[in-house]
Structure 1
Amino acid sequence: MSAPDLLTQAEDTLRRNHMDGYTAPSPRLYPHQWNWDSAFIAIAWAHLDWEMAVREVDTLLEGQWRDGFLPHIRYNPKVREGYQPGPDWWPDIPVRVSGQHTSGITQPPVLPTAVFLAGLAQPDERVRRSWWRRVFAPLRDLILCYPRTRTAPGSPLMAIVHPWESGTDNSPRWDFATGGGFKPSRPFRRADTQVVAAAQRPTDRDYDLYYFLVELIADHRYDFSRYLPHTPFAVYDALFNAIWYRGAVDLNRIAAELGEPAVISVEDLRAFADAYRRTLWHESSQLFRDFNLKTRAQIPVDTVVGLGAICGGLVDRTMAEAMISGYLRRCRGYRLLPSVLPDQPGFEPDRYWRGPVWVNTNWLIIRGLQELGLTTYADALSQETLALVHRNGRREFYHARSGEGLGGTDFSWTAALVVDLLRRPVS
């Protein structure tokens, strides 16, 4: 398949999945609007149809809360079936726009970076700045929300409070919590395994924890300070924090273009970067690890998240090269990049975030390597990613050894990031 054919098929997927002002990640499996999915998708729309990128962002921001928080799902009221938990599990949500229904947790804040990149794709400087001006305040509120509402005393790092907030839902990093026997007080129904084989999805034990935490978070009215003493799950996630840092830097770039003061000061960014490296770096693995606030210790599992500082701009070229070369050595013989290193406990090559390759994490690392001038690594990973999609379709994720496409079909962020890799090639 030629690059133009791959591009055409990717665009066709995005157009088919577009509905009611947003692009569903995969209409049967994920029919609503997801936070970081729409951010990745907006990057592609900016290449294909710039006004569609604007609409994708506008629709996502309709679900923003009054304090700037951006939930991981904005529910489409026209979709009554096909995804659980529904909005009934999330009562009393403080949305800005009346009538919106959202979840009560978030996802890695890719949106400011997506808006920055989408703006750069608009050749008319007047149009670009006008759009940036219009969305600047909600993006500023978003970036400032997490330091205000998700930090614990003694650190500027931000905590996630549910595995879904990491975006890597059933990673072995979270086995410390799923093994705790936690169960929700009321029954729940799974819709995902009616669409995708159960062997490729999180287990029922995983879902017991997910729903237990949903209830706990909702019972404490989404207030981190109130539920932190009661939750078994509060983590400084290495990827979430790296993406926040990158988003803050990119939003500062937008602010400079608009003549606005920096949203996060240089001093605060430096303090954050120092805390990130001091708290999350693991010397012997040459990767970053997550930090469990409940045990006050790093979580001893090495995954692709450990490379997140590369995309975040938190490491220099020398450190990034040591990280990526070490990761590649440890997954020799596997497709790139497996979401969990094969030498780690809990690795499963075909189960969701326990080993398979994901295009979004590949893309994040590719762009980070590219910005650091590590173009040989970036180009090789880009070509590997495009070849994987070429051979196996626009799937949700890919078997870590065979490359077989798994999970949802015609997956939007896979299509979207293929578009970006083709329209903005590494070399």
Structure 2
Amino acid sequence: MPSPRSYPWQWYWDSCFHAIVRRRFDPAGAVAELRTLLNGADADGFVGHTILWGHPLDAQRAIRYNIASREDLSTRTIQPPLLAWAWAWVGAGGPAAEEPRIAAHHAWLREHRALEDDGLLWLIQPDESGMDASPKFDHVWGRVLSQGRPLFPMLIARNRRLGFDARSVAAAGHPVVCEVLTNVAWSLSEQALGRPSLTPALIERLYDRRTGRFHDDVRGAVDPTPRAARPDTWDTLAPLALPDLPDDIAERLVAEVLRSPGYASGVPLPAVALDDPAYTARETWWGRHRHWRGPSWVNSAWFVSLGLRRLGLDAEADALTARLLTVVGREGFREYYESRLGYGMGAHAFGWSTLLWEMADPVAPPTLI
């Protein structure tokens, strides 16, 4: 559970982060976390965004969750596929390639979400990216159907009618997104299985050399906003976690994005640059779904710290960590943090915020290439 009171089930990428930290003090529990995630898989290799262990959804959540029926064990959408990479961190009884259910999971993703020959994955909803209500999706699904907006359940209902199938969604002319963070996770996990790196494909499709940033590729957007005009969101920095990201691209990301006032002056790491018009850390009129529209997240900071250390920028990684340690030491392990003043927000006792341990006592990531 990401947080016992607020999130009572098992979330896919949360479990991957939990296991990475848990290996430090409970190796058997770390392995069990990932195996339990696999125990919720379908026979064809699909692993859902949320595994509904213990009890089904109530009627209110059933409208907002991506289920085909109230009898489903899991939601029918994905999250960033970090499982094989987390397996490599945990050392769960051998390489990920030796666990046939992980190979089946990757086969499902390639069959159902790799819509083009380059092998990158495509998403059908904002929450599949793990960044839910990020403003970067406003131009894709519009200000009505985007996550956290009043009519988001209509998007879920439409995708439910199409079987939550990306090919069917695309064929019907509805938006699909080749998203940056999802494909960073996918490349890391493919390499953990001993497969060829997808980093070159990710650069070819999603990197804009003119702006020096990574941007999503979109089909069928409601508002085809040019890349340079889209909100400045943290995921452009996520490729820093790739072990084979070319140094010239990585160094430019650090110099022009991470060190810019929009990120350098905030609690690590704001979901949206502090100086971007889309930034907000306040409650919004449509409810609580402002969490990827400004506040800071520990998992984001950890991804960036991996890249800093790979580049030999240990002092900068240490400074990033020290700023976050001060906030978490005062506020506890919260779901996210107000990105200017640092007060805790969202759920309490939030699991993946313990990734701060990985930042404070860094070890080299598993060798993938």
Secondary structure of the 1:320 match is: helix
Query: What is the distance in 2 between the residues matched to 1:287 and 1:336?
Result: 19
Preserved contact between residue 308 and residue 365 of structure 1 (Cα < 8 Å): yes
TM (normalized to structure 2)?
0.86
Matched, 1:419 2:357: yes
Secondary structure of the 2:260 match is: helix
Give the equivalent residue in structure 2 for 1:378: 317
Task: Return 5+ residue gaps in structure 2 as ranges.
Answer: 283-289, 365-369
Query: What is the distance in 1 between the residues matched to 2:280 and 2:136?
Result: 13
Given the superposition, is the C-alpha separation of residues 298 and 35 from structure 1 closer, same or farther in structure 2, using an over 3 Å criterion?
A: farther
Give the equivalent residue in structure 2 for 1:39: 16
Query: What is the distance in 1 between the residues matched to 2:65 and 2:253?
Result: 43
2:240 aligned to 278, 303, 310, which one?
Answer: 310
Give the equivalent residue in structure 1 for 2:332: 393
Give the 5 Å matches for 1:344-383.
Answer: 344-350=276-282, 351-383=290-322
Give the 5 Å matches for 1:12-411.
Answer: 24-78=1-55, 84-85=61-62, 90-91=67-68, 101-119=73-91, 130-132=93-95, 136-153=99-116, 155-179=118-142, 181-182=144-145, 203-205=148-150, 208-209=151-152, 211-230=153-172, 232-252=174-194, 264=195, 266=196, 269=197, 272-295=198-221, 299=227, 300-327=230-257, 328-331=259-262, 332-350=264-282, 351-411=290-350
Q: How far does residue 285 in structure 1 lie from its aligned partner after superposition? A: 3.2
* Bigger Rg over Cα: 1
Secondary structure of the 1:235 match is: strand
RMSD over equivalenced CA pairs, Å: 2.7
One-letter identity of the residue aligned with 1:108: P
TM-superposition CA deviations, 1:55-104 (whole Å, max 9, x none) = 111111111122222210000233665982379862369xxxxx870000
Over the matched positions of the two proteins, sequence identity in percent amounts to 27
Secondary structure of the 1:354 match is: coil
Higher helix share: 1
Q: How far does residue 313 in structure 1 lie from its aligned partner after superposition? A: 3.0
Matched residue pairs, number?
A: 351
Secondary structure of the 2:85 match is: helix
Worse-superposed segment, 321-330 or 238-247:
321-330
One-letter identity of the residue aligned with 1:106: I
Worse-superposed segment, 368-377 or 132-141:
132-141
Query: What is the distance in 2 between the residues matched to 1:212 and 1:223?
Result: 16
TM (normalized to structure 1)?
0.75
Given the superposition, is the C-alpha separation of residues 154 and 61 from structure 1 closer, same or farther in structure 2, using an over 3 Å criterion?
A: closer
Preserved contact between residue 66 and residue 77 of structure 2 (Cα < 8 Å): no
Q: How far does residue 317 in structure 1 lie from its aligned partner after superposition? A: 2.7
Q: How far does residue 397 in structure 1 lie from its aligned partner after superposition? A: 0.6
Given the superposition, is the C-alpha separation of residues 166 and 388 from structure 1 closer, same or farther in structure 2, using an over 3 Å criterion?
A: same
Worse-superposed segment, 174-183 or 58-67:
174-183
Q: How far does residue 44 in structure 1 lie from its aligned partner after superposition? A: 1.5
Q: How far does residue 404 in structure 1 lie from its aligned partner after superposition? A: 1.0
Query: What is the distance in 2 between the residues matched to 1:159 and 1:180?
Result: 21
Preserved contact between residue 78 and residue 128 of structure 2 (Cα < 8 Å): yes
Preserved contact between residue 321 and residue 356 of structure 2 (Cα < 8 Å): no
Query: What is the distance in 1 between the residues matched to 2:125 and 2:72?
Result: 22
Preserved contact between residue 178 and residue 217 of structure 2 (Cα < 8 Å): yes
Preserved contact between residue 321 and residue 360 of structure 2 (Cα < 8 Å): no
Query: What is the distance in 2 between the residues matched to 1:157 and 1:369?
Result: 25
Q: How far does residue 231 in structure 1 lie from its aligned partner after superposition? A: 5.7
